[in-house]
Structure 1
């Protein structure tokens, strides 16, 4: 099975943001939007613009191979105000059904990139987490290997012997690493982050190992001895990633990144657990825990919407939640998720006489209100059922897809 590098591309952004010269070289080579903008180096040299528009941004990072396949999804957040870097990993097998896609593989979130491109992936992640994605980065693992080799390798502690061969992969995958602390070059680093067998908790164990690698890589990149290598590093990376970040944005964050020198990276993983559905292995996200994890990831004390004014607006939306399965407590669980986000849940009940395999949200008074509720619960199906004398704005019918 084809794999791509996980959790690491955020550091590429950090590299690019590290020095103005590196950013300028990057600008000359990377695939960026063709827009008219100011010279990025001039932006750095203008004191009045150094602090301009440096707000916290959510950057979606997607790992992709030469066949446009991806199992890498995470969000990186660099907050210049708080001087923090955070990453939130989304397991590749996360259950995320989309209308019109009915095969088992299509119901995994990583399929959104292959079939719907970066825009489809952004939409899926925004719906899942309830946050806005400001920018994206798409990277292949050849670029990753070049970065590791350029900085002279990264030291990590390999928890156990790792050996695996897959000649059917494209390119073929051969992993042979020994237990213990050692410096990994680009090729061995690829093996380490791609290895997924032997972890007690499966893919979550691999994500934890990659977080460890990321911390080690970050420390290496912030060492003074690495700084002279950054321009050549920017050139190497630029040929292997695509992004909608402009050169001016890169340069502005470059200045702030060097100035702040963030000392650590906070790592988070989408809450949930692996399980099977119709004989297929998935990772089922826990929607009741997502708001808390995302809030911590963003360094925000508010709940799901991260905007007190949005929570206040949600109080005006009346919702009824109905259990369309035979699973006890499902409606109450989802109702609590909605209440945490401010929605006025006026009724919890059961659908009598039939069961639903897929969850639905019905707009009784206003479609936009229904979409907000659907996003809060990561439900794809939104339908109009406008009833002028309805006592609720939105009706939610929970299907078996919400049983995990």
Structure 2
């Protein structure tokens, strides 16, 4: 009898030790996930680049301040290559609780080592086709850094199926559509020529992908599409950060990798960023910037012909970058 009591005592003590270690480990992990601790050291994707513009940042990063490149690819299910259809740099300053976003138009003229000048949308595609997915992402990041002078710390790439799945996972969003949108090139045939009137709409993932993909029917083409993409991001942020959904945020963040093609952000990175954004108000804390430019017919060294390319306003770009996107 005494022997049995001793065994149970040992088991009880062992269980208590395990419980203490588990709780202690959980507390430690929770502390490590706190944004002020987690983002003390962040990577710089292009830190080894030997080609920097005059305005490019030093690779030393201030705690809690970093840049995320969001890439929307037209890669379809089962394919291993795709064009960079939309690109947006988000500058995160957790100290000031400020977020600045800047889109880089897909048809912007950039330089690709070994090939020459081409559209930004072609860079990732050609490098993926020749050197694999990771080299394609790195080449696109390098082209953006040389163009803007902004170092990229994190990148997140999704395609339209991923965006659709993400929006559906949060039960759809309320999206402000600032002008009428006619769907001339929809992903789904049944939406051909459907018109989404200006105003606020309750939309599911399928319709969000249709709206942010459209550009041909828009008065200002790519620039108006950028505005639609901004409104979609605001809608997603608002829905995700509703008080009733905040407790579900960790579970949602853990689902995000299922909707991505590629990213150098870990689940811990995303959870920590989610914790930082729990009181985030996109209408006040997110500022969006567009860079003007001129369309010119120019020779494309990859496609071996002339096509319409956007030449961004260098002075405006330099001013916006230096004011809002430098660490």
TM-score (norm 1): 0.56
Q: Which residue of the other structure, out of 285, 296, 299, is the alignment partner of 1:275?
A: 296
Q: Does 1:160 align with 2:180?
A: yes
Q: Does the 8 A contact of 1:215 with 1:264 survive in 2?
A: no
Task: Name stretches of at least 5 consecutive residues in structure 2 with no aligned partner.
Answer: 1-24, 41-62, 128-135, 300-305
- In structure 1, the residue matched to 2:197 is 179
Shift of 1:95: 0.6
- The alignment yields a C-alpha RMSD, in angstroms, of 2.8
Stretch of structure 1 that moved more, 129-138 or 93-102? 93-102
- In structure 2, the residue matched to 1:91 is 105
* Aligned pairs for 1:274-313 within 5 A: 274-278=295-299, 279-298=306-325
Shift of 1:261: 6.0
- 4+ residue stretches of structure 1 with deviation over 6 A? none
Q: Does the 8 A contact of 1:84 with 1:264 survive in 2?
A: yes
Q: Separation in 2 of the partners of 1:161 and 1:89?
A: 20
Shift of 1:180: 4.0
Q: Does the 8 A contact of 1:109 with 1:124 survive in 2?
A: yes
Q: Separation in 2 of the partners of 1:243 and 1:201?
A: 31
CA 1:141–1:183 in structure 2 vs 1: closer, same or farther (change >3 Å)?
same
- In structure 2, the residue matched to 1:256 is 276
Q: Which residue of the other structure, out of 260, 263, 266, is the alignment partner of 1:243?
A: 263
Q: Does 1:109 align with 2:120?
A: yes
Q: Does the 8 A contact of 1:84 with 1:265 survive in 2?
A: yes
**Match of 1:196, SS?**
coil
Q: Does the 8 A contact of 1:144 with 1:237 survive in 2?
A: no
Q: Which residue of the other structure, out of 138, 150, 164, is the alignment partner of 1:145?
A: 164
Q: Separation in 2 of the partners of 1:291 and 1:165?
A: 34
**Match of 1:110, SS?**
helix
Shift of 1:228: 4.3
Q: Does the 8 A contact of 1:58 with 1:132 survive in 2?
A: yes
Shift of 1:281: 0.8
Task: Name stretches of at least 5 consecutive residues in structure 1 with no aligned partner.
Answer: 1-38, 301-305, 307-404
Q: Separation in 1 of the partners of 2:243 and 2:251?
A: 15
Shift of 1:96: 1.1
Q: Separation in 1 of the partners of 2:185 and 2:35?
A: 49
Stretch of structure 1 that moved more, 146-155 or 121-130? 146-155
**Match of 2:252, SS?**
helix
CA 1:203–1:161 in structure 2 vs 1: closer, same or farther (change >3 Å)?
closer
Residues 127-183 of structure 1: per-residue CA shift (max 9 Å, x gap): 1111211121111222211222222222234422513246xx7x8694424314321
Q: Does the 8 A contact of 1:41 with 1:251 survive in 2?
A: no
Residues 312-364 of structure 1: per-residue CA shift (max 9 Å, x gap): xxxxxxxxxxxxxxxxxxxxxxxxxxxxxxxxxxxxxxxxxxxxxxxxxxxxx
**Match of 1:97, SS?**
strand
- In structure 1, the residue matched to 2:90 is 76
Q: Does the 8 A contact of 2:165 with 2:259 survive in 1?
A: no
- Determine which structure has the larger helix proportion and give its number: 2
TM-score (norm 2): 0.68
Residues 264-303 of structure 1: per-residue CA shift (max 9 Å, x gap): 31111233232322541111112222210112332x6xxx
Shift of 1:259: 5.8
Q: Does the 8 A contact of 1:93 with 1:110 survive in 2?
A: yes
Q: Separation in 2 of the partners of 1:173 and 1:293?
A: 41
**Match of 1:188, SS?**
helix
